[in-house]
Amino acid sequence: MAKERFLPQVIDPDLCQLCGRCLNACRNEAIVIEGRKRWVDYRRCTGCLTCTLICPKNAIKVTGVNEGQTLGVDIDAAKCHAVKDCHECVDRCPAGIYTKPGENIIVVEENLVNCKTYKICEHGFPANAVKVIQA
């Protein structure tokens, strides 16, 4: 049975006052604030939840995930060959998490729950443009 972990899921922009307390408290630099945008970088987050404890406005929501569950996909635009008519990840992904409506590959967030972490997409690119982010 997979072990459940708890991770910060979203920073509510209506509650967040951009005070920076979570940013300063995070030992792994997983909180990202750029201008008015803020999010959690799951590649760095260890799930310590210090950010949720320090937030004076309770702006950071937590979600439970199972160990190994796919949290997201990071596509490196500089390495991705989508503009050169490559759509290998769209064709090869059994979970259907990718689509290519125009020049760029887009991740269909709703389909991430279907990802069984085969990581076919990571190994399918000549330049390793895709990184599957797991709990």
CATH number at residue 23: 3.30.70.20
Q: How many domains does the chain have?
A: 2
Rounded CA-CA distance 72/107 in Å is 8
Distances (CA, A) of 113 to 32, 34, 88, 117: 24, 28, 20, 10
Q: Is the pLDDT of residue 125 over 80?
A: no
101-123: pLDDT as tens digits: 888 888 888 888 888 877 788 87
Q: Note down the domain range covering 128.
A: 70-134
Are 56 and 79 part of one and the same domain?
Answer: no
pLDDT of residue 102: 82
Domain end call among 66, 98, 117: 66
Bridge-based pairing of strands 106-107 and 98-99 is antiparallel
> What is the average pLDDT score of the chain?
86
